[in-house]
Structure 1
Amino acid sequence: MNHPPFTTTRRSWLRQTSAGFGAMALHGLLNAASNPLASRAPMLQSRAKRVIFLFMSGGPSQMDLFDPKPFIQQRHGKSVNAPLPEQHRHESTDGLLALGTDIPVRPRGQSGVTISDLLPHTAAIADELCLLRAVHADNNQHGPAALQFHTGVTAEARPSLGSWVSYGLGTENQNLPAFLTIHPGIDTRNYSASFLPAAHQGTPVTLSAKVSDPAIAFLTDQASDEATQRRRFDFIQRMNRRLLAQNDTDARMEGMIHSLETAFRMQAATPDLVDLSKETEATKKLYGIGEKTTDKNGRACLLARRFSEAGVRFVQVTMDGWDHHGDIRGALPKSCAASDLPCAALIRDLKSRGLLEDTLVVWSGEFGRTPWSQDLSRTAPIEKHGREHQPESFCAWMAGGGVKGGLMHGETDEFGFRPVSGKVHLHDLHATILHLLGLDHERLTWRHLGRDYRLTDVYGEVVKEIIA
């Protein structure tokens, strides 16, 4: 459904067209007109209430972790006639030598989902996972590929997935934003609200080894007391509302007003949430907090659970270190060791608290890695080679939130290069995530520059085969 922004000047339009939103009640839309972060009923029957997105920045190797290829394993170190277009060949991949994995990838649990020995904790929760083995993206460079995963496009500033979820559902806790991103990268477009109101922008959270360092920048003002801050805040908001009244309609100004109000309320709510000292020692150990290898990601995953439990709709955790162009056999185990325990602990913790059923957890990088080697030095033995970028096919997993656990969906060719069945494009993945949240990706739109925009543009099909 195409509709203009949720603003106070469009209340009459909302009354006339609310029927198009199905289960989304009129009072919810009217509330959204005056508060863009108001909690709203979904358009469709929902399976999930919230999302935690675990983003493995750099591109994990799907063949080493989830999708072993006997053909490549048998041809290890030998040239293969791979289906790689000539224009995509690089000097470092000249010869296309098959690069097998040296760590077993085995069937796990009752379901037989294939997972590497490098991920023992993930392997232990295999029956909770829905493994997508033929995910496809459109760009082989980190920046554009990551941008597409977050926003649906490779080269523009568009609202991110978290911002669309915030816009569609609001927040369940008015003292917190609907979208938080923990340890985001330097590209702010990946959590931008773009042309959506500023209230739907992702709030960055950075955890420091020093407990005294603020997790959210500029949340507190040490130079003035609370009463002074309150007077200053009220004065700024009066000026903002006066300007808004003069312009009648200004979505950005409305978004700024509500962002300031949310920020002010966050000063009281957030300190307790980011204080992990109140968690039990057993919970900290579950996530690997206090251990050098897992402490950073463990804290981030535990914080993601706390924010989700508190009512934040979309929480993203970014984990770096997956860009293995060289010596993948030496580097991949380190990346796995830093993320495996925290990610698996998150699933276990959510399930033990009864939250996994309506929390959708998504794990993926921006693309995968090639099944043939890459020798940056041109002289290193193949055991020291790495892998190039591969958007043509890669693996991602989902858990909870209405997806089938213990399922492997999709197949690739014998090279592990092109999908042969069950192909899931990023537009399809986005459509499915929104569907599980009760949002119709074709009707969740915003009018901008004379036309209606949506996360999936003119593409995307819900992957019904993976829905429980």
Structure 2
Amino acid sequence: MLDAIRRRDLLKHTACGFGYLALAGLAAERAAAEAPPDPLWPRSPHFPAKAKRVIFLFMQGGVSQVDSFDYKPRLFRDDGKDMPFDDARVIANTGARGSEQRVMRPLWEFSRHGECGHWGSSLFPELNRHMDELCFIHSLHTEGVAHGPATLFLHCGATSAVRPSLGAWIQYGLGTENRDLPGFVTIGPSAGNGGARNYGNAFLPAVYQGTPLGKAGAPASEATIRNLSNPRLSEADQRRQLDLLLALNAEQSGPSSDPELDAVISSFELAWRMQMNAPDALDLSGESAETLALYGIGEEPTDNFGRQCLLARRLSERGVRFIQVTYGDSTANPAWDQHSNMPKHADHARRVDRPIAGLLADLRRRGLLEDTLIWWGSEFGRTPYAQQKGTGRDHNPDGFTVWLAGAGVKPGFSFGATDEFGHKAEQDKVHMHDLHATILHLLGLDHERLTYRHSGRDFRLTDVHGRVVEGILA
């Protein structure tokens, strides 16, 4: 019978448990020595990086490339004509190709801007002033005809399967620059079209998920971290409370502990440090009147998105790795989704044009544009013909435009091209997987080496696809 008693149990139940306590102490020391380092500690990139951080300006719903930056003279010549097109939505629903569609000219006039002479329409007059800083990709194409799948693919590299978001992969690969703030922040995210999955960690450890500030459709002045401070307890009492909580949690942590528990423990520690740092980062009151005006803050219709962009700058200069700024109306109505009212594009452009131009100017004068990558774009573009021969444009995943600016990309440069209607990517085609690979490359990460083993196989953001777009690299 004695042989059936484990040595650990025997020690625990004899001599008032003192032997067990000693053994437990030794085991704890060994576990601490074997435990992996903090998962958010800064890590070296695979190779020297051009960018330290990314600000992604997500134009939810699909900006029309042929009304903004992809100038196609043939749309003016053939305006109103019925012509055959391979419509992505018709093909998805019926399989039919070559359906008759009515060509629709751009609603805004185009002209050349900057020394580079790139074409830009009057839809974005302030951004046109920065044309010599922008690097356009005119040949992007993606997966998914509807907003939900295409938005998930944009953020996670998959249309339906649960996969980690780009920001989570970046945190996993590089850790954080500032342990007193989250390394991945999403400002004004939408609850629809993937919702929290667009900034989630999926099967990566939970510490890599994004921290949301506010939500789409809500005032940016409310984009804050709730319950950040506790006015009922002194700082010393809160510190003692946290230490007790960490001690209790530490009994269950270690090399074989639950990753979700480890993430909770890490979040408690981060929350404590954030009390001293986040309020200052989120407080715009100390900015000069000139800076506020630069972003259009205090004026309509630019105040709301201007606050989001200024908040992104403040977070970027404090070392946040990946900051996503979403311009979106609501879950039910993605902002740029004009199926029957293309003039509505002008309302959205007036809200974002000046703030984005202000962000570019502010980053440049502070020396932050040298190591910050700005990415502007939507989940897809729009068709060069009128949807159902009406007054709007349908979704177009086959060829659309995004632009990058800042660290590591060629300024005043255009890459790739769509066909003569601006419908399908034709020259130097760039898939969304390729764009993801390129963004990781600029951060010093090899998209083929950035892997995580889950359910018996290695996963990566670009799955088994993707190539770096060397042609846009400075």
Q: Normalised by the size of structure 1, how large is the TM-score?
A: 0.87
Aligned equivalents of 2:123, 2:302: Cα separation in 1: 14
1:170 matches 2:190: no
1:326 and 2:340 correspond: yes
CA distance in structure 1 between the partners assigned to 2:136 and 2:233 by the alignment? 51
Cα distance, 1:59 vs. partner? 0.5
Aligned runs of 1:1-40 on 2, under 5 Å?
33-40=36-43
Cα distance in 2 between the residues matched to 1:9 and 1:61: 56
Instruction: Note the 1:154-303 alignment, pairs <5 A.
Output: 154-186=159-191, 187-206=195-214, 209=219, 213=222, 215-245=224-254, 248-303=256-311
Cα deviation digits, residues 277-325 of structure 1 (max 9, x gap): 1000000000000112011110000110000000101111000111111
Q: Deviations over 1:355-395 (max 9, x none)?
A: 101100000000000111025xx8xxx5xx11000111110
Distance 2:220 2:75 in 1: 46
Instruction: Kindly indicate whether the alpha-carbon contact (under 8 Å) linking 1:9 and 1:248 is maintained by their aligned counterparts in 2.
Output: no
Gaps of at least 5 residues in structure 1 are: 1-7, 13-29
Shift of 1:10: 12
Indicate the larger mover: 99-108 or 175-184. Answer: 99-108
Secondary structure of 2:252's match?
helix
SS at match of 1:81: strand
Question: Following the alignment from structure 1 to structure 2, what is the Cα–Cα distance between the partners of residues 220 and 196?
Answer: 29
**Correspondence 1:124-163 to 2 at 5 A:** 124-163=129-168
Which of these residues, 423, 443, 446, is aligned with residue 452 of structure 2?
446
Are the counterparts in 2 of residues 180 and 312 from structure 1 also a CA contact under 8 Å?
yes
Q: Rg bigger for which structure?
A: 2
Check if 1:418 corresponds to 2:431.
no
CA distance in 2, matches of 1:9, 1:112: 62
Letter matched to residue 277 of structure 1: S
Query: What is the Cα deviation at residue 68 of structure 1?
Result: 2.3
Aligned with residue 367 of structure 1, among 374, 380, 395:
380
Residue 392 of structure 1 corresponds to: 398
Code of the residue aligned with 1:243 in structure 2: it is Q
Structure 1 letter corresponding to 2:48: Q
8 Å Cα contact 2:85-2:100 kept in structure 1: no
The residue aligned with 1:342 is: 355
Q: Measure, in 2, the Cα distance between the counterparts of 1:115 and 1:260.
A: 48
**Does the CA contact (< 8 Å) of 1:36 and 1:255 recur in 2?**
no
Distance apart, 1:227 and its partner CA: 3.6
Give, in whole Å, the separation in 2 of the partners of 1:236 and 1:356. 41
Q: CA deviation at 1:210?
A: 8.6
Is the 2:40–2:171 contact (alpha carbons within 8 Å) kept by the matching residues of 1?
yes
* Partner residue in 2 for 1:58: 61
Give the match's secondary structure for 2:403: strand
Cross-structure match for 2:472: 466
Q: 2:84 aligns with which of 77, 81, 84?
A: 81
Deviation of residue 240 (structure 1)?
A: 2.1
1:231 Cα deviation after fit: 3.1
The offset of 1:133, in angstroms, is 0.4
Q: Does 1:109 align with 2:122?
A: no
Distance in 1 separating the partners of 2:106 and 2:377 = 20
Tell me the CA shift for residue 9 of structure 1: 7.8
1:406 aligns with 2:420: no
Following the alignment from structure 1 to structure 2, what is the Cα–Cα distance between the partners of residues 404 and 81?
Answer: 36
Q: Deviations over 1:168-218 (max 9, x none)?
A: 11111110111000001110000001111221110001286595x561133
Tell me, yes or no, if the aligned pair for 1:110 and 1:127 is still in contact at 8 Å: yes
Instruction: Quote how far apart the aligned CAs of 1:94 are.
Output: 7.2
Percent of aligned pairs with the same amino acid: 47
Amino acid at match of 2:42: S
- Provide the residue aligned with 1:16 in structure 2: none
Q: Is the 8 A contact 2:220 2:304 kept in 1?
A: no
Q: Which residue identity does 1:66 align to in structure 2?
A: F
Q: 2:43 & 2:231 partners in 1: Cα distance?
A: 35
d(CA) in 2 for partners of 1:428, 1:10:
41
Amino acid at match of 1:271: P
Partner of 1:123: 128
Deviation at 1:73, TM superposition (A): 1.9
Partner in structure 2 of residue 432 of structure 1: 438
Structure 1 pair 116–169 and aligned structure 2 pair: CA distance change class (3 A): same
1:226 positional shift: 3.3
Q: The residue matched to 2:336 in structure 1 has which SS?
A: coil
Residue 5 of structure 1 corresponds to none
Displacement of 1:236 after TM fit?
A: 2.6
User: Conserved in 2, the CA contact under 8 Å of 1:304 and 1:315?
Assistant: yes
For 2:17, the equivalent position in structure 1 comes to: none
Give the total of aligned pairs.
431
1:316 and 2:324 are equivalent in the alignment: yes
Displacement after TM superposition at 1:265 (Å):
0.9
Give a deviation string over 1:94-127, Cα, whole Å, max 9, x none. Answer: 7411111121122210112221111011100001
Task: Specify whether residues 210 and 388 from structure 1 end up closer, same or farther in structure 2 by C-alpha distance, changes over 3 A only.
Answer: closer
Partners of 1:11 and 1:392 in 2: CA distance: 53
Shift of the 64–356 alpha-carbon distance from structure 1 to 2, 3 Å rule, reads same
User: How far apart are the structure 2 equivalents of 1:94 and 1:101?
Assistant: 21
| Deviating more after overlay: 63-72 vs 402-411 | 63-72
In structure 2, distance between residues paired with 1:135 and 1:9: 49
Aligned AA for 2:139?
A
1:144 and 1:47 map into 2 onto residues whose CA distance is 31
Q: Normalization by structure 2: what TM-score?
A: 0.86
Work out the CA distance in 2 between the residues paired with 1:138 and 1:223: 51
- Of the structure 1 ranges 54-63 and 235-244, higher mean CA displacement relative to structure 2 is found in 235-244
CA distance 1:105–1:152, shift in 2 (3 Å)? same
Gaps of 5+ in 2: 1-29, 329-334
- Superposed CA RMSD: 2.3
C-alpha change, 1:169 and 1:338, in structure 2 (3 Å) is same
Question: CA 1:156/1:218 → structure 2, altered by over 3 Å: closer, same or farther?
Answer: farther
For residue 71 of structure 2, what is the aligned residue in structure 1? Answer: 68
